[in-house]
Chain A
């Protein structure tokens, strides 16, 4: 299985994990190797216990696809896209405001765009807090265009490279949404459709293709057309007080973009499901967590949702009943990104504890694999093109390759077969 991680130092790394090597096996092999190396070291120099080379678990291979260590170029958001030429590309939003498209296979930077407003320093009081910097809250891309949203509500929908040779920024759609946006996510099937939410900012779903907003010359302007969907807060609580709103993450749960259904996590420990066809108020409102929920992912195979909070608790929620199925143990630091395998049977989580961990989704929720990433990971992508082959499938593949490599026999003269005619011995 292959993963790509984007981290806070601006690196994109590819991690290959051999699914046949169990965690226990890998750890015991590594322990033996480390012990042997330590023993060899004591022969030369006593007292120095630092290991000489980087330690790695068996079955785990890691390499840097692109980037150099630099905090200001830290990757805040990452998404995958396919170029017109067919190559797979990562679109990353960096801390210094750059949007960059990087080829997955060669690691080269294909397009780079720098958002001008990131260098400003300011201090705005909002919702009892001070906002002092701009950062991206979401990046999405497809069909040669990207959508990026900052925490000040500035949404940019722009083609990567313009056809006429004019700078791409000239063909951009610029939207100004209320500030203190916390998260923006694009629809997986139609990336021009995106949802935004934040602190005291209700969930709104827009279509960047059809919205009437500012053009490149005018700068960011408030959209004059209505959003596809705008959510409404839950009713006041039992003291008739406004229930605070803090949307931390959202996921589209259906393919419908005209009447989207969205799962939303809040910083007040809630998971809410919105259905645009039914009502603007949430259809379901659950409080499954003890800590603010910061990341969610909806399973594409089962009616389940995985949510992660700020303390490294990853849990699985049944979307039909709203009950927590169980938690995934062993994660020490906040999870920043969750990814699922193609068949939905495995879940991978990576975050601030610098590890990428793979668990079996459901059942015993056992830890299957782990890889040390050395950096604080901000996004993980599970490469579904790398299939996990079982041992018999590998054998079959190898056998097929052998047959194909062999030369064909129909061109050669077939060996003479001995006929049954025999001259009778005279």
Chain B
């Protein structure tokens, strides 16, 4: 740059100069890319080197260092997971889920619950009455050998939270529910069948992420029915867990088409408690607190 725009005092002239410099910059960039293409067509190693070095910084790859991220070959974690609260499920126990809401649930909450009932096989919806407290309901479920209890919390006539209680002695996870979209609201949606879906759990990297991932896994039967060609996905990205359900079909050996069945919702973990649901006196393994948010690059799952 021969002339810096800050040297020009006349605003009109300055703006013209900047516009010209912008055009020239764009031109130089396109020219460089053309030359690079030619060079790389001749020498493919250059392309590989460029792709390797020139990785832009994203929030995902500049994540703060976290010792809790489970390494691939961590024996201790593997041994602990063999013996944890979900060991029974991973050794063959069939899941039996009960879902209910907070009392006096409205239309939107019940329709969301009915969608969840279509997602999870072997689930039962029981309308919540006012006779029993949640602690009592948990004891009833334990007595009738349910493995999980899901409670959808309603506030201002909309479902706001999801509490997942793994039953025998298991952990309790409380999530914030947002961006709920029923199957019917999705354009071009598919219709669900009652086949057991395949489960995809993405990017649960830390030890606590493993626990949450296993909690979701314990809701679904161990063996999916591939004939149904349905997949349910829990994708974790920066502590937000996105749920999607799709139907897939292989067009040929190279191409797969997806059609979304719905529902679609986002979960964010609020707290994870060791033991059954007891927010007042139970011990928390992890609870969201404002002073944990030390940087934008820090995630816990």
Give chain B residues whose Cβ lies under 8 Å from the Cβ of A51: 69, 71-72
Q: List 7 A-B contacts (CB under 8 A).
A: A9-B80, A31-B65, A38-B61, A51-B72, A54-B74, A330-B292, A333-B286
A330 and B291: CB pair below 8 A?
yes
* A287 → B minimal CB distance (Å): 15
Give chain A residues whose Cβ lies under 8 Å from the Cβ of B118: none
B80 and A310: CB pair below 8 A?
no
Report if B126 contacts A (CB, 8 A). no
Given A31-B65, A71-B84, CB of A333 within 8 Å of CB of B71: no
Q: Is the interface of A mostly helix, strand, loop or mixed?
A: loop
Give chain A residues whose Cβ lies under 8 Å from the Cβ of B77: 374
B285 and A334: CB pair below 8 A?
yes
* A163 → B minimal CB distance (Å): 39
Closest A residue to B300 by CB, please name it. A332
* CB interface residues, A 6-53, toward B, < 8 Å: 9, 27, 30-31, 34, 38, 42-43, 49-53
Report if A282 contacts B (CB, 8 A). no
Given A69-B79, A71-B84, A374-B76, CB of A311 within 8 Å of CB of B69: no
A376 and B285: CB pair below 8 A?
yes
Give chain B residues whose Cβ lies under 8 Å from the Cβ of A42: 52, 55
* A213 → B minimal CB distance (Å): 32
* CB interface residues, A 337-385, toward B, < 8 Å: 352-354, 372, 374-376
Report if B103 contacts A (CB, 8 A). no
By the criterion of a CB under 8 Å from any partner CB, how many residues of chain B are at the interface? 36
B289 and A312: CB pair below 8 A?
yes
Give chain A residues whose Cβ lies under 8 Å from the Cβ of B280: 291-292
A43 and B71: CB pair below 8 A?
no
Give chain B residues whose Cβ lies under 8 Å from the Cβ of A34: 65
* A57 → B minimal CB distance (Å): 6
Report if A329 contacts B (CB, 8 A). yes
Give chain A residues whose Cβ lies under 8 Å from the Cβ of B3: none
Task: Determine the distance from Cα of A70 to Cα of B205 in the docked complex, in whole angstroms.
Answer: 23
Q: A-facing mask of B169-210, CB < 8 A → 1, else 0? A: 000000000000000000000000000000000000101000
* CB interface residues, B 252-294, toward A, < 8 Å: 274, 280-287, 289, 291-292, 294
Q: Which of B80, B83, B207, B289 has the most CB of A within 10 A?
A: B80
Give chain B residues whose Cβ lies under 8 Å from the Cβ of A312: 284, 287, 289
* A52 → B minimal CB distance (Å): 6
Task: Determine the distance from Cα of A55 to Cα of B206 in the docked complex, in whole angstroms.
Answer: 12
Smallest CB-CB A-B distances: 3 pairs: A372-B67, A69-B79, A334-B283
Task: Determine the distance from Cα of A31 to Cα of B83 in the docked complex, in whole angstroms.
Answer: 32
Given A71-B84, A354-B207, CB of A55 within 8 Å of CB of B67: yes
Report if B151 contacts A (CB, 8 A). no
Closest B residue to A130 by CB, please name it. B139
Q: Which of B72, B274, B284 has the most CB of A within 10 A?
A: B284
Report if B64 contacts A (CB, 8 A). yes
Q: B-facing mask of A55-70, CB < 8 A → 1, else 0? A: 1110000000000111
Q: B-facing mask of A292-331, CB < 8 A → 1, else 0? A: 1010000000000000001110000000000000000110
Report if B68 contacts A (CB, 8 A). yes
Task: Determine the distance from Cα of A329 to Cα of B69 in the docked complex, in whole angstroms.
Answer: 22
Report if B70 contacts A (CB, 8 A). yes
Give chain A residues whose Cβ lies under 8 Å from the Cβ of B286: 332-333, 352-353
Report if A159 contacts B (CB, 8 A). no
A310 and B282: CB pair below 8 A?
yes
